[in-house]
């Protein structure tokens, strides 16, 4: 990465590619921000290297929390899940309480962690086999867990089937803004090939809608920053996160502006939630 510093500006100028990821997400090159690991120590260290332009500035990182899960909750109209989001509950704990049929206060750490794994895995079509690899559950325990999950959130299951049916009929699926993904293998007679297309039928609209939403936010924020003649600059976009270089005297107003624009980029029947961090490097802000 040090080699990618531009000799004239002494800064690193990532190149975004708008046309590579078929889901609608952006990708980036030189450096590729997507493959900086999020949770590992090394990833943390690399983030630490990204700093504001000088001491009068700070970095602000704004991250959509659980955006994909919120999208699937809203699109499937799964009331139980929407309620949890509307009440600002811890969605994984709530899910655990429902799935394992215990009181919210009695949810153990382990139960919450299992619920979290299923919550995130479900839209990627996780199987009992996959779940048992990611957790300490056996394959039959995993199977039971997935079944209990679908029972807890029956509309989610119905939505997923409806997406697959839609794809079978139309040959494509689409996002909230009508971005299409064509799935020509959806009617394949080969089970492996068809299975992959079916998982995409569920996943592509979710990931693609998340991409749509952050793109709207970027366009609106960019316009607001220009119109307001702010000195703040939007610098990076990675996953569900935006990073800004903010003069300290603009910090309060800009923080509000960013949060407002991101949370209101698109109207879903569940609230969008943005976590905002401030720091002297990307790791601190993240």
Partner 1 sequence: MDSNKKLFLLDAFALIFRGYYALIKNPRITSKGMDVSAIMGFTNSLLDVIRREKPDYLAVAFDKGGSHARTEIFPEYKANRNETPEAIEIAVPYIQKILKAMHIPIIEQLGVEADDLIGTLAKQAEKEGFQTYMVTPDKDYAQLVSENIFMYRPARMGNGIEIWGVDEVKKKFEIEHPEQVIDYLGMMGDAVDNIPGLAGVGDKTAKKFIAAYGSMEGLLENLNELKGKMKEKVTANAELGLLSKQLATIKIDCDVTFNAEAYKLSAPDAEKVTTLFEELEFRRMKDQFFKLFDADGNPATPETVKPSQVRTKSTAGAGQFSLFDAGDDQSNASKTTSRQTIDSTTHHYQTVQTSGLGFKLFLQNLTAQTSVCFDTETTSLDPLVAELVGIAFSWEKTNGFYVPFPEDRQEANTLIQQLLPFFESENIEKIGQNLKYDIKVLDKYGVTVKGPLFDTMIAHYLINPDMRHNMDILAETYLNYTPVSITELIGKKGKNQLSMRQVPVEKQTEYAVEDADITLQLAAHFTPELKEANTMELFNTIEIPLVKVLSAMEIEGINLDKAFLNSLSSELSQDITKLENNIYEQAGETFNIGSPKQLGIVLFEKMKLVDKPKKQKPDNIPRLKMYYPTLPRTIKLLPIF
Quote the tokens at residue 54: 């000088």
Residues belonging to the chain: 286
The CB-of-251 to partner 1 minimum distance in angstroms stands at 17
Catalytic residue among 56, 63, 227, 252: 63
Q: Quick one: 28 or 79, whose CB is closer to partner 1?
A: 28
Q: Quick one: 79 or 220, whose CB is closer to partner 1?
A: 220
Q: How far apart are CA 273 and CA 206, in angstroms?
A: 16
Q: How far apart are CA 173 and CA 160, in angstroms?
A: 12
Q: Quick one: 184 or 256, whose CB is closer to partner 1?
A: 184
Q: How many CB atoms lie within 10 A of CB 285?
A: 23
Distances (CA, A) of 252 to 65, 136, 221: 21, 44, 15
Quote the tokens at residue 198: 């079916």
The CB-of-254 to partner 1 minimum distance in angstroms stands at 15
Question: Which residues, 6+ apart, have CB-to-CB distance to 77 below 8 Å?
Answer: 155, 159, 269
By the 8 A CB rule, do 33 and 238 touch? yes
Query: What are the residues binding partner 1 (CB under 8 A)?
Result: 1-2, 5-6, 8-16, 18-19, 22, 24, 26, 35, 37, 40, 42, 45-46, 48-53, 133-134, 136, 177-182, 184-185, 188-193, 196, 212, 215-216, 218-219, 222, 233-237, 243, 245, 281
Q: How far apart are CA 89 and CA 81, in angstroms?
A: 10
Question: Coil, helix or strand for 234?
Answer: strand
The CB-of-140 to partner 1 minimum distance in angstroms stands at 16
Q: Tell me whether strands 180-182 and 172-174 are parallel, antiparallel or unpaired.
A: antiparallel
Crossing angle of helices 139-152/154-170, nearest 10°? 90
The CB-of-32 to partner 1 minimum distance in angstroms stands at 12
DSSP state of 185: T
Q: Quick one: 27 or 79, whose CB is closer to partner 1?
A: 27
The CB-of-59 to partner 1 minimum distance in angstroms stands at 9
Q: Quick one: 47 or 116, whose CB is closer to partner 1?
A: 47
- Clarify whether 56 is annotated catalytic: no
Where in the sequence numbering do the catalytic residues fall? 63
């Amino acid at each position: 990465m040090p080699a990618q510093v531009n000799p004239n500006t002494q800064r690193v100028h990532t190149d975004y590619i708008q046309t590579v990821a078929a889901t609608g997400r952006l990708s980036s090159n030189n450096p590729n921000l997507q493959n900086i690991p999020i949770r590992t120590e090394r990833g943390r260290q690399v983030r630490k290297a990204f700093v504001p332009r000088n001491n009068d500035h700070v970095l602000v990182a704004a991250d959509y929390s659980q955006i994909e899960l919120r999208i699937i909750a809203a699109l499937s109209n799964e009331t139980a899940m929407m309620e949890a989001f509307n009440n600002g509950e811890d969605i994984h704990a709530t899910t655990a309480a429902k799935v394992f049929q215990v009181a919210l206060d009695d949810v153990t750490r382990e139960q919450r962690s299992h619920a979290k794994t299923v919550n995130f895995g479900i839209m990627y079509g996780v199987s009992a086999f996959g779940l048992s690899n990611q957790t300490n559950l056996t394959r039959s325990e995993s199977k039971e867990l997935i079944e209990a999950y679908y029972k807890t959130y029956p509309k989610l299951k119905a939505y997923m089937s409806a997406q697959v049916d839609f794809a079978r009929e139309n040959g494509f699926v689409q996002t909230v803004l009508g971005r299409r993904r064509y799935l020509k293998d959806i009617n394949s007679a080969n089970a492996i090939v068809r299975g992959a297309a079916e998982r995409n039928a569920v996943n592509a609209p979710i990931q693609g809608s998340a991409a749509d939403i952050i793109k709207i936010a970027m366009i609106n924020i960019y316009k607001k920053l220009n119109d307001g003649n702010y000195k703040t600059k939007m610098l990076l976009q990675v996953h569900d996160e935006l990073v800004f270089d903010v003069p300290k005297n603009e910090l309060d107003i800009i923080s509000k502006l960013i949060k407002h624009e991101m949370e209101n980029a698109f109207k879903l029947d569940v609230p969008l939630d943005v976590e905002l961090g401030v720091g002297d490097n990307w790791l601190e802000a993240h």
